[in-house]
Amino acid sequence: MLFQRNKGGDWLIVGLGNPGSKYWNTRHNVGFAAMDALADSLHARVDRVKFQGLTGTAELDGKKLILLKPTTYMNLSGQAVSAAARFYKIPPERILVMFDDISLEPGRIRVRKEGSAGGHNGVKSIISSLGSQAFPRIKIGVGAKPHPDYDLADWVLSVFPLSQREAMAEVYSRAAEAARAIVTEGCDAAMNRFNGK
């Protein structure tokens, strides 16, 4: 996918999840929850239907942020992301994606500049649609399957136990803080601040 460069420094920030109330507290929807925390911190709303998703806008440090929650279901997330990126002419290096990661324990986040999909179907769809994996991301830990034979789809679509929900709310706030740091300070500074915590 070819981009005409956006010289204004605008960012597209994406939280991944599945639409519908039955998915709300599931592990696969932590990207949506982190987006809600980010929008709250920026006094923004993500409720306008556009680009096969819910969108909103905010400003941070003089930069315009386009906030997006794709409503295509996870495996087709790239359709919404590429449509928004094309419209605003935002290159991959300013498309920040927040999503669940089973290799991290609940309560952990990890900032990365780029990388492969790592088996995550939403990220795989975005890489395919953009034709690039050079976009920053915030991985939000949801924990590994309880045992090897457990079905992965069942695991990521399961809900967090009540005992973990309060801790996860803090994680969403930290992911939102990391997103703001990536925009204002850059990925390297954000990785130094948030990785390993």
Cβ density class 41-50: b for 16+ within 10 Å, e for less: ebebebeeee
User: Residue 9: what pLDDT?
Assistant: 76
Please name which of 42, 69, 63, 24 lies closest in space to residue 183, comparing C-alpha atoms.
63
Structure tokens at 14: 């994406």
Q: Could you tell me the two tokens for 17?
A: 């999840």
Cβ contact 55:46 at 8 Å: yes
pLDDT tens, residue by residue, 89-132: 999 999 999 999 999 999 899 999 999 999 899 999 999 999 99
**How would residue 8 be classed by pLDDT, with cut points 50, 70 and 90?**
low
CA 161 distance to own-chain centroid:
22
- Which position among 28, 43, 120, 147 bears the catalytic label? 28
For the chain, give every domain's residue range.
Answer: 11-194
pLDDT computed for residue 129 by the predictor: 97
Tens of pLDDT along 50-102? Answer: 999 999 999 999 999 999 999 999 999 999 999 999 999 999 999 999 999 99
Report the C-alpha gap between 149 and 157 in whole angstroms.
16
At 197, the pLDDT band (50, 70, 90 cuts) reads low
Q: Under 8 Å CB-to-CB from 175, ≥6 apart: which residues? A: 34, 37, 38, 98, 109, 138, 140
Catalytic site includes residue 120:
no
CATH number of 11-194: 3.40.50.1470
